Amino acid sequence: EVQLVESGGVVVQPGGSLRLSCAASGFTFDDYAIHWVRQPPGKGLEWVSLIGWNGGSTYYADSVKGRFTISRDNSKNSLYLQMNSLRPEDTALYYCARDRGIRLYKYDMEVWGKGTTVTVSS
What residues line the site for other proteins (CB under 8 A)? 35, 37, 44-47, 50, 59-62, 95, 97, 100, 106-110, 112-115
Q: Name the residue nearer to other proteins (CB basis): 7 or 17.
A: 7
The end-to-end CA distance of the chain, in Å, is 39
Q: Name the residue nearer to other proteins (CB basis): 30 or 46.
A: 46
- In whole angstroms, how close is the CB of 60 to other proteins at the nearest point? 8
- In whole angstroms, how close is the CB of 75 to other proteins at the nearest point? 26
- In whole angstroms, how close is the CB of 37 to other proteins at the nearest point? 8
Strands (E), 8-121: 11-12, 18-25, 34-39, 46-51, 58-60, 68-73, 78-83, 92-99, 109-112, 116-120
Closest by CA position to 6, among listed 120, 97, 72 = 97
Q: Name the residue nearer to other proteins (CB basis): 8 or 105.
A: 105
